[in-house]
Chains A and B, each alone.
Chain A
Amino acid sequence: MAGFSSFAPWDEPGKKPLIEIKSVSKFFGAFEAIHDLSVNIYEREFFAILGPSGCGKTTLMRMLAGFETPTSGQILLDGQNIGPVPPAKRPVNMMFQSYALFPHLTVEKNIAFGLKREGVAAGEISDRITDIMKLVQLTDFGRRKPHQLSGGQRQRVALARALVKRPRLLLLDEPLGALDKKLRQQTQFELMNIQETLGTTFVIVTHDQEEAMTVSSRIAVMNNGEIAQVAPPTDLYEQPSSRFVADFIGEVNIIEGRCAPAARDGISLAWNEGSDDLRIASDATSQIGTTAWLALRPEKVGITKTRPEGTDNAVQGEVIDIAYLGNITTYHVELPTGAIIKAQESNLQRVANRGITWEDTVWVHWSADAGVLLTA
């Protein structure tokens, strides 16, 4: 979405964020789950919080819902501190990981639950239920109980139950985790459509980077209670700010070396004595003389049997492993240093035509602007 439209409120100067998380820390006893975290989330965003388990992403979401209070710092919604507001009084609703559907109530009554608590008039309740059930394609399931539904249908009921309250902010805790892969992919697009139709701000917590990349306008990658990077999916993939982010999002080759001035423009990375320095298109000349890492995506690395002409970087190695995934093939090439470089090729031709096999001596090559120079 973000990549294909000009929706980027975080770049607009003076734009007021819907949610401001201001240097929030959260302790559980002596354990610090969240460390001095600040981030803004804007209206209509589909914001993903991504990270390995135990990184604090669930704690952050529970603080937004009101189930946990920050030990220090503030969370503002529309400029108002919502720290002391209990979950029941926040214009924030949550879709639980387990869905938390009330097993003793029918689908309709589950969805009506929140509206009844609000004291919405009966006529309006039934109108709003009809509308939301249409939106999540559950029209004929109103009288069923949750256990009579499939996993995908339950997920929709949970979504409908949270959305029918028309929250300012919808929180989704691993919303698709319980679904199988095919259904998950299909549901991702449905979620995006629903979010665009309603214009509600969504915050999704997930450990599935593919899911985060697909649905969100921006992703916050978390590690050890801190945000490692916040960026739209494309920026996160192409311009990771650290080895952690580069490694967490997709596959990556990391080559450690020492920065040196390049003969032409950019920077040279001295990585192995006896090998040519690697050429990197970067203007980080201040890094010269320090240790740095080249992050290189496998699909940007080419592989040939003979030394290629006219590339910026070419390194010789031996094929030790070939992972054939159908649409792509990943070659694991061992360099003289013992390091492994992964090179990926799309299988544009039938696999029988492949010229490279195990224990072949090959050249891996990439252009100067293929990788990113990381300093952390």
Chain B
Amino acid sequence: MGPLERRCRRLVNGMKSTFGQRLFVLLPYLWLLVLFLAPFVIVLKISLSDLAVSRPPYTPQFDYREGWAGIKTFFAELDFENFIFLAEDSLYVNAYLSSLKIAGVSTILTLLIGYSIAYALARSPQRWRGTLVMLVILPFWTSFLIRVYAWIGILKTEGLLNQLLLHIGMISEPLTIMNTNTAVYIGIVYSYLPFMILPIYATLEKMDESLLEAAEDLGSSRLAAFFLVTLPLSLPGVIAGCFLVFIPALGEFVIPDLLGGSDTLMIGKTLWVEFFSNRDWPLASAVAIVLLMLLIVPIILFQKQQEKQELGR
């Protein structure tokens, strides 16, 4: 064996990964398979089933003992009835549209508020930043549910906000905020604000300040420099933040349930009612599948966009 050959062989051996290494790479895929793909398939199957008074409350049940014929009849009984029902009943369509609107509007509100806070954080003196970021995360130390409940105490007719505004004479009659869409917006913006602030802050914080000086030096005003340099460079953070807010807000259940009124229509709440009040598992599963599709489409678009950017870089 010549020295060159030996060296090649050593190189090839070096590239071969051990069993342990491969297992390590496989783990995340295994995780996704067991905890995401399998439940999804189960939910998809239920959504194609029919409601039945039994336990579990749907048919057909998969019975492997009947063999090939059993599998055939099983698949023959699955249908898209529930999806057709969803499309025909305006209640569900309206719930989806209303959820999209509430999630969209709250995302925009969160973006406006979150961007300003992230900007202020990134421009604050270095020695304060750690503490300030800490303060943004601090609410997470209290249970989400308790924080939403706390808003009831603030927003209700005889709540803190109304008392304060009455006291300083800004209003003469208490405002009705509780149990309206406004309260839902307040709740969502408040709850998801940190998810918007942190990714935007991360992009703003690592931005080289000399870029802004360069923009100014080349003749742009500070405002123009913000729109021409700061904003485009923070766009990845903005997009990430918007997704982190929009996706959970779309399926939000707790906030509209606690703060919203009877006319607050959100798909998360509808889903809850179908599952637990009506015990219509197949229809509820269909609602969930459609919700997932609504979310997956923008995520895939986002991924495609990211890939394109990576290639263009």
A contact set with B: CB distance below 8 Å = 65-67, 86-89, 92-94, 96-98, 100-104, 113-114, 117-118, 145, 147-148, 161-162, 165
- Smallest beta-carbon distance B126→chain A, Å: 16
Q: Is the CB of B233 within 8 A of A87?
A: no
- Smallest beta-carbon distance A188→chain B, Å: 23
Q: Is the CB of B218 within 8 A of A165?
A: yes
Q: Is the CB of A98 within 8 A of B210?
A: yes
Interface centre among A66, A88, A93, A147 (most CB of B within 10 A): A88
Assuming the contacts A98-B208, A103-B233, A104-B233, asked whether A86 and B216 have C-beta atoms less than 8 A apart, the reply is yes
* Residues of chain A lying within 8 A (CB to CB) of residue B217: 65-66, 87-88, 92-94, 162
CA A104 to CA B31, docked complex, whole Å = 36
Residue of A nearest to B220 (CB): A117
* Residues of chain A lying within 8 A (CB to CB) of residue B219: 88-89, 114, 117-118, 165
CA A370 to CA B232, docked complex, whole Å = 61
CA A65 to CA B219, docked complex, whole Å = 12
Residue of A nearest to B225 (CB): A88
CA A301 to CA B229, docked complex, whole Å = 57
B contact set with A: CB distance below 8 Å = 208, 210-211, 213-221, 224, 228-229, 232-233, 312-313
* Residues of chain B lying within 8 A (CB to CB) of residue A118: 219
Q: Is the CB of B221 within 8 A of A88?
A: yes
Q: Is the CB of A87 within 8 A of B213?
A: yes
* Residues of chain A lying within 8 A (CB to CB) of residue B312: 145
Instruction: Give me the 5 closest cross-chain CB pairs, A-B, nearest first.
Output: A114-B218, A117-B219, A100-B214, A100-B210, A117-B220
Residue of B nearest to A112 (CB): B218
* Residues of chain B lying within 8 A (CB to CB) of residue A148: 313
Q: Is the CB of A88 within 8 A of B211?
A: no
- Smallest beta-carbon distance B202→chain A, Å: 16
* Residues of chain B lying within 8 A (CB to CB) of residue A86: 216
* Residues of chain A lying within 8 A (CB to CB) of residue B228: 113
- Smallest beta-carbon distance B225→chain A, Å: 9
Q: Is the CB of B216 within 8 A of A102?
A: no
Q: Beyond the given A100-B213, A101-B214, could you list 17 further A-B residue pairs with CB under 8 A, ordered by the A residue number?
A: A65-B217, A86-B216, A87-B217, A88-B216, A94-B214, A96-B213, A98-B208, A100-B208, A102-B211, A103-B233, A104-B232, A113-B215, A113-B218, A117-B220, A145-B313, A148-B313, A161-B218
CA A9 to CA B210, docked complex, whole Å = 34
* Residue in A87, A103, A162 whose beta carbon sits within 8 Å of that of B216 in the complex: A87
* Residues of chain A lying within 8 A (CB to CB) of residue B221: 88
CA A96 to CA B218, docked complex, whole Å = 12
Q: Is the CB of A88 within 8 A of B220?
A: yes
* Residues of chain B lying within 8 A (CB to CB) of residue A89: 219
* Residues of chain A lying within 8 A (CB to CB) of residue B229: 102
CA A165 to CA B229, docked complex, whole Å = 19
| 17 A-B contacts (beta carbon < 8 Å) | A65-B213, A66-B217, A67-B216, A88-B217, A88-B219, A89-B219, A96-B210, A97-B210, A100-B208, A102-B229, A113-B220, A114-B219, A118-B219, A147-B313, A148-B313, A162-B218, A165-B218
* Residues of chain A lying within 8 A (CB to CB) of residue B208: 98, 100
Residue of A nearest to B212 (CB): A100
* Residues of chain A lying within 8 A (CB to CB) of residue B232: 104
CA A94 to CA B229, docked complex, whole Å = 17
Residue of A nearest to B210 (CB): A100
* Residues of chain A lying within 8 A (CB to CB) of residue B214: 94, 96, 100-102
* Residues of chain B lying within 8 A (CB to CB) of residue A67: 213, 216
* Residues of chain A lying within 8 A (CB to CB) of residue B210: 96-98, 100
CA A93 to CA B214, docked complex, whole Å = 9
- Smallest beta-carbon distance A307→chain B, Å: 60
CA A165 to CA B211, docked complex, whole Å = 17
Residue of B nearest to A167 (CB): B217
- Smallest beta-carbon distance A118→chain B, Å: 6
Residue of A nearest to B235 (CB): A104
- Smallest beta-carbon distance B230→chain A, Å: 11
CA A165 to CA B218, docked complex, whole Å = 8
Residue of A nearest to B207 (CB): A103
- Smallest beta-carbon distance B260→chain A, Å: 40
* Residues of chain B lying within 8 A (CB to CB) of residue A88: 216-221
* Residues of chain B lying within 8 A (CB to CB) of residue A87: 213, 216-217
* Residues of chain A lying within 8 A (CB to CB) of residue B224: 117
- Smallest beta-carbon distance A119→chain B, Å: 9
- Smallest beta-carbon distance A23→chain B, Å: 26
CA A369 to CA B216, docked complex, whole Å = 52
Q: Is the CB of B233 within 8 A of A117?
A: no
* Residues of chain B lying within 8 A (CB to CB) of residue A96: 210, 213-214
CA A104 to CA B220, docked complex, whole Å = 17
* Residues of chain B lying within 8 A (CB to CB) of residue A113: 215, 218, 220, 228
* Residues of chain B lying within 8 A (CB to CB) of residue A66: 217
Interface centre among B215, B224, B313 (most CB of A within 10 A): B215
CA A104 to CA B203, docked complex, whole Å = 13
Residue of A nearest to B233 (CB): A104
